[in-house]
Structure 1
Amino acid sequence: MHLEGTILRGDDFEPVEGRIVVADGEIVRIEEREVDGDAVILPAFVNAHTHIGDSIAKEAGEGLSLDELVAPPDGLKHRLLRSTSREEKVAAMARSLRYMESTGTGTFLEFREGGVEGVAALRDAITGEGVDAGERAIDSVVFGRDDPDVLSVADGYGASGARDADFDAVRAETRAAGKLFGIHAGERDADDINPAMDLDPDFLVHMVHAAEIHLERLADRGTPVVVCPRSNLVTNVGVPPIRELAERTTVALGTDNVMLDSPSMFREMEFAAKLSDLPAREVLRMATVNGARIAGLNRGVVAEGRDADLLVLDGDSDNLAGARDLVRAIVRRAGAADVSRVVIGGDVVVSRSAVT
């Protein structure tokens, strides 16, 4: 397969007119050449923090505090998950996965509740087992929780927060298993940031209330951070200091709870860009390669030898036509209607035009 258009190549998203040749799920060649058409080719998104089990309860809990909404074990989300059948949860997650694919997400990092069974339910949603949605191509990195045996089936452990339990033992088990450990920190307040960092996590999530002492510690340790600014605004905890975090460490974007926000990386990018006023290229890295780096994946960049997870936009859509700064336009204004094709693992999973 090959794709032609304006290619946003490399970590800096340098616009190059040409053709991408894909074979066996990999970008094998990028050829600079004149091409016809207005396609814009960039990496598929890596959504670095999701809770898609929440798909059963979209827009539930208006007016509730963060703890009332999601705190384990009896926040609204957890009560709803317990009261919903497995079949309903799998079907709801499958629909969110289909939406994520259609809006350009190739990989997501999921904090999955429910222990071993919760991970199994997510795998069934991806494979189409027991639902009508069909098998999905979207790739997952699943961080389990709530069960001492979850590391046997998950890709890592996703801790709720240092104030919720003693995670020393599970951190040691995760390290011994050679798997990733992520933890929420600094979402409600700053009290759990240092205890979370004491666990030497592979990454932190949220860091809304990071103070200078925490920022300095991040810079010293090089601990990556995933920010979810739309979710933080909805739960009324504030918004993360995205610019200050990005000046000190690797920052990626996540859409967090489907209960609160759609899992659209277009919307997350636009909000983060306008909130932080960071350069558009930095925000696009947060939505692609930075999440891939956190998870140790070979994607998120259009370059030879990388996984062929690609997003193709219609550069002549009514929304994007006339853009003077293409990367800025993608970050601040592009949306689902501009998507022409989504390629995951070298396979076209969404197509609104012919592919050669």
Structure 2
Amino acid sequence: MATTLEGTILRGESFDPAEGRVVVEDGEIAAVEETATDSTDIVLPAFVNAHTHIGDSIAKEAGGGLSLDELVAPPDGLKHRLLRQASREEKVRAMARSLQFMEDSGTAAFLEFREGGVEGVDAIRDALADRRIDPVIFGRESAAAMRAADGFGASGARDGEFGDLREACREAGKPFAIHAGERDPHDLTPAMDLDPAFLIHVVHPRDEHLDRIENEQLPVVVCPRSNLVTDVGVAPIRELVERTTVALGTDNVMLNSPSMFREMEFAAKLADVSATEVLRMATHNGAELAGKEYGLIEEGRPAKLLTLDGDSDNLAGAEDPVRAVVRRAGEGDVKGVML
């Protein structure tokens, strides 16, 4: 049985707004049709949150005023101490609530750096029970955690060479991702030398780092709200977008809500980047990093879709639907989520 979504469709890689409908059959986009409708809805691809630490859900807004290292540096940053103090049940319950929020606000998938070794990977899988959101879990701390997960997530080249773990990822055929350039530029070259699937943050690249990112087409995930909260600076988003694939992540739930609406608005108003590019960062580009076929409204793609009420008090009268989605929309405008 087919399902039809009508209104302004943000279709294809350029998110061209067109009045029409999306026909969904068996979980796949069967047709995208231009036609007159009576609907004021806006239909767009569901989001992909390209960098999260969902385990921090047990410590929202803890540690105000602390430095980056005091907040999150392993093994004894505040988040790690709080994680050790919380019971497994508390952590699973808190993560499940964040995952529910992400689903309800239109996130189809997330790329998670999961603390706690194998036990941490098992805990988030428990939190995902009965959820529709797709996880891509990067285990941390050990090769065993990587094997239990979908890949390995490194804290940064300054915190260890990670050579053995990088080789273990190769042997297992799983991706290796790493934080880099968050506090300063000094760990960027050693991070890139590990041939990661992508880098996270890249707040402080030098010209030689940007050149290498471009030459190697090394994707980058930026987390602008997190970087300002931890006072490390702002990534050169425009320069990165001009050189490589850039995706958007919300980072630690301890510091920021896992809202892609808030992250998009912040990125669009902070950086000299078009609303179309920011929407691509929040959808298709993240889907590419996650190895998913969705993130665009095109025939034949999985139907991971988000419908906004274009006649909400917030969105009514918007003349540019893409800018309205990126710079203005929020969870209160969500009318439906198809995952």
- TM-score category (smaller protein): over 0.9
Shift of 1:342: 0.6
Match of 2:50 in 1: 48
Could you tell me which amino acid in structure 1 is paired with residue 55 of structure 2? G
Of Structure 1 and Structure 2, the greater helix share is in: 2
Task: Map residues 114-153 of structure 1 onto 2, 5 A cutoff.
Answer: 114-127=116-129, 135-153=130-148
Distance 1:29 1:116 in 2: 42
Task: Map residues 177-216 of structure 1 onto 2, 5 A cutoff.
Answer: 177-216=172-211
Shift of 1:147: 2.2
Q: Secondary structure of 2:243's match?
A: coil
Match of 2:67 in 1: 65
Q: Secondary structure of 2:19's match?
A: strand
Distance 1:198 1:277 in 2: 30
Identical aligned pairs, as a percentage?
A: 69
Shift of 1:270: 0.5
Task: Answer yes or no: is the 8 Å Cα contact 1:114–1:147 preserved in 2.
Answer: no
Distance 2:235 2:88 in 1: 34
Match of 1:351 in 2: none
Deviations 1:83-140 (A, max 9, x none): 100000000000000111111111100000111110110010010xxxxxxx211111
Task: Answer yes or no: is the 8 Å Cα contact 1:104–1:311 preserved in 2.
Answer: yes
Task: Map residues 309-324 of structure 1 onto 2, 5 A cutoff.
Answer: 309-324=304-319
- Which of the numbers 317, 320, 324 marks the counterpart of 1:325? 320
Shift of 1:176: 2.0
Could you tell me which amino acid in structure 1 is paired with residue 161 of structure 2? D
- Which of the numbers 225, 232, 244 marks the counterpart of 2:239? 244
Task: Answer yes or no: is the 8 Å Cα contact 1:224–1:251 preserved in 2.
Answer: yes
Deviates more, 1:17-26 or 1:215-224: 17-26
Could you tell me which amino acid in structure 1 is paired with residue 65 of structure 2? G
Q: Secondary structure of 1:96's match?
A: helix
TM-score by length of 2: 0.98
- Which of the numbers 163, 167, 176 marks the counterpart of 2:162? 167
Task: Answer yes or no: is the 8 Å Cα contact 1:215–1:245 preserved in 2.
Answer: yes
Shift of 1:305: 1.1
Task: Answer yes or no: is the 8 Å Cα contact 1:13–1:281 preserved in 2.
Answer: yes
Distance 1:179 1:76 in 2: 30
Distance 1:192 1:29 in 2: 47
Distance 1:321 1:251 in 2: 30
Q: 1:256 and 2:258 equivalent?
A: no
Distance 2:191 2:338 in 1: 36
Could you tell me which amino acid in structure 1 is paired with residue 102 of structure 2? M
Match of 2:32 in 1: 30
Could you tell me which amino acid in structure 2 is paired with residue 286 of structure 1? M
> Which structure 1 residue ranges, 5 or more long, are not aligned?
128-134, 345-356
Could you tell me which amino acid in structure 2 is paired with residue 40 of structure 1? I
| CA RMSD, Structure 1 to Structure 2 (Å) | 0.8
- Which of the numbers 88, 103, 106 marks the counterpart of 1:104? 106
Distance 1:280 1:190 in 2: 28
Task: Answer yes or no: is the 8 Å Cα contact 2:294–2:302 preserved in 1.
Answer: yes
Q: Secondary structure of 1:137's match?
A: coil
Shift of 1:328: 0.7
Shift of 1:37: 1.4
Task: Answer yes or no: is the 8 Å Cα contact 2:142–2:165 preserved in 1.
Answer: no
Match of 2:4 in 1: 2
Match of 1:271 in 2: 266
Shift of 1:146: 1.2
Task: Answer yes or no: is the 8 Å Cα contact 1:143–1:155 preserved in 2.
Answer: yes
Deviates more, 1:210-219 or 1:42-51: 210-219
Task: Answer yes or no: is the 8 Å Cα contact 2:72–2:79 preserved in 1.
Answer: yes
Task: Map residues 212-223 of structure 1 onto 2, 5 A cutoff.
Answer: 212-223=207-218
